[in-house]
Structure 1
Amino acid sequence: MSDEPSRSALGGAQRWADYLDWIRAEMVSAVLALAYDDQRTSRVPSGWTPLELLHHVLHMEQRWFVWGFLAEPVADPWGDWSSPDAPEARWAVPSDVTAEELTARLEAVAVRTRGVLRDHALDATASTGGRFDDDPPTLEWICFHVLAEYARHAGHLDIVAEQSRD
C-alpha cells in the first residue's frame, strides 16, 4: 500500500487530484499484483472480476470528468457495461484486453482529470450537452462523487484480492 497524500500538501483542486491519483494507483497495484487468472475470476455473488472493476472505474471517471464536466464527446461512455440499457447488464471486458492496457487507458483518463482540476475552479458548474442536459453539478460535487465511488470499489477490490491470496 502506498502512502496517503501528505497532510501538508496543497488543498483545493490539488488535494482532489492527489487523492484521486492515490486511490487510482492503489487499485491498479492491487489488480496488477494478481495472477492473470485471478484478474479474470469472480469471487463475489454479483459476478464482477478485478479486471472488470478496473475497466469500470476508468469509464466511470471518464464519464464524470470528460463527458460530464467538460461535455466532450466520449466514444463509448458506457463501454464498461455488457448492455447499458438491459436490466441484466453487467460489467464486461473484451477477452483480449489486459490489465496493463487498462492501466495505460486509466492513466490517460487521469491526465485529463488532472487537467480539468488544474484549469477549472471547484465551484464551476459542469457544461451541459454531454452527460447533463439540466441541473449540472459543480466540479467539487463531481470530485466528491468520484472519490466516494473509487473508495467503495477499492474496498471491494481489497476483499477480493485477499480472497485470491487464500
Structure 2
Amino acid sequence: MQRSPEQVPALLDGPGVDVSDTRELLLGYLEWYRETLMRKLSGLSEDQLRTPVHPLGWSPLGLVQHLGWVERRWMRWGFAAADVLAYPPGGDEAEWSVSAGTPTAEVMAAYREEVSAATSLATAANLTDKAGHGGRFQSPDQAPSLGRILFHLLQEYARHVGQLDVARELIDGETGE
C-alpha cells in the first residue's frame, strides 16, 4: 500500500538534510529538542503538568524546571562563569518539584529566560572557545569548549525528552516524535 505525502515520516528530524556544519547541527538540534519538549507538553491539563508520574517520580512541569537549571548550570555558570545560583536551595528535590503556589507560567518563563541566555551565549562564541573559570570550572585546565558543552546539553535533552515520551504515554497514552 502506498502512503500519501502526509503519511510519509520525515527522513530526519532537526536541522535540514543539507546542514552539515557542526555549529549549525549542534545549535539546530538543541533548538529542535527544546521545541520538542514544548510539543510533548502540549495538550496536558494543569493537573497533568503538575502531578508526578508514577513510577518516574517527577511531573512534566518539574522536568521543565530541571532543564532550566541544566541550561543555567552549563551555559551561564559553566561557559560564561557568571556569578549565578547554580542549584536551588533544597537540591535535587527542589529542582524537580514545583510547589503548588508557583504558577505554571512562572516556571515556563524561567525556563525560557535560561534558554534565551544560553542561546545568546552560544551564538556569540565559537565552538572552540573555552569556558570561563571561576564559575563551574575553577581553572583553565578544567574548562571545556563551547562545542563540548553544547554536545552535553544535547544529550541531556535527548535523554529527558525520551523520558517525557514515557511519561506522556503513562499520563494519557499519547505517543509520537
**TM bracket, shorter-chain basis:** 0.7 to 0.9
Are positions 1:119 and 2:124 aligned together?
A: yes
Q: Is the 8 A contact 1:14 1:117 kept in 2?
A: no
CA–CA separation in structure 2 for the residues paired with 1:89 and 1:12: 35
Of 95, 107, 118, the match for 2:100: 95
CA–CA separation in structure 1 for the residues paired with 2:159 and 2:73: 17
Aligned to 2:6: none
Percent sequence identity is 33
Corresponding letter in the other structure for 1:136:
A
Report the TM-score when normalising by structure 1.
Answer: 0.84
User: Kindly tell me: are residues 107 and 30 of structure 1, through their superposed partners in 2, closer, same or farther at Cα, counting changes over 3 Å?
Assistant: same
Larger RCO (alpha carbons 8 Å, 6+ apart): 1
Aligned to 2:156: 149
Q: Is the 8 A contact 2:79 2:132 kept in 1?
A: yes
Are positions 1:6 and 2:8 aligned together?
A: no
Alignment RMSD (CA, Å): 2.3
CA–CA separation in structure 2 for the residues paired with 1:99 and 1:21: 22
Q: For 1:82-113, what per-residue CA distance to the aligned partner results, in whole angstroms no more than 9, with x for missing partners?
A: 6228xx77722232333333332222222222
How many angstroms does 1:62 deviate by?
A: 1.1
Q: What secondary structure does 1:131 align onto?
A: coil
CA–CA separation in structure 2 for the residues paired with 1:89 and 1:107: 19
Deviating above 4 A after TM superposition, structure 1's stretches of 4 or more consecutive aligned residues are none
CA–CA separation in structure 2 for the residues paired with 1:29 and 1:99: 16
Unaligned runs of 5+ in 1: none
After superposition, residues 41-52 of structure 1 pair within 5 angstroms as 41-52=51-62
Of 134, 137, 155, the match for 1:132: 137
User: Kindly tell me: are residues 69 and 25 of structure 1, through their superposed partners in 2, closer, same or farther at Cα, counting changes over 3 Å?
Assistant: same
Q: For 1:42-84, what per-residue CA distance to the aligned partner results, in whole angstroms no more than 9, with x for missing partners?
A: 223341111111100011011101110000121x3212xx622
User: Kindly tell me: are residues 94 and 10 of structure 1, through their superposed partners in 2, closer, same or farther at Cα, counting changes over 3 Å?
Assistant: farther
Corresponding letter in the other structure for 2:75:
F
How many angstroms does 1:18 deviate by?
A: 1.7
CA–CA separation in structure 2 for the residues paired with 1:98 and 1:31: 16
CA–CA separation in structure 2 for the residues paired with 1:102 and 1:90: 11
Report the TM-score when normalising by structure 2.
Answer: 0.80
Q: Is the 8 A contact 1:32 1:100 kept in 2?
A: no
| Residue correspondences, number | 160
User: Kindly tell me: are residues 117 and 77 of structure 1, through their superposed partners in 2, closer, same or farther at Cα, counting changes over 3 Å?
Assistant: same
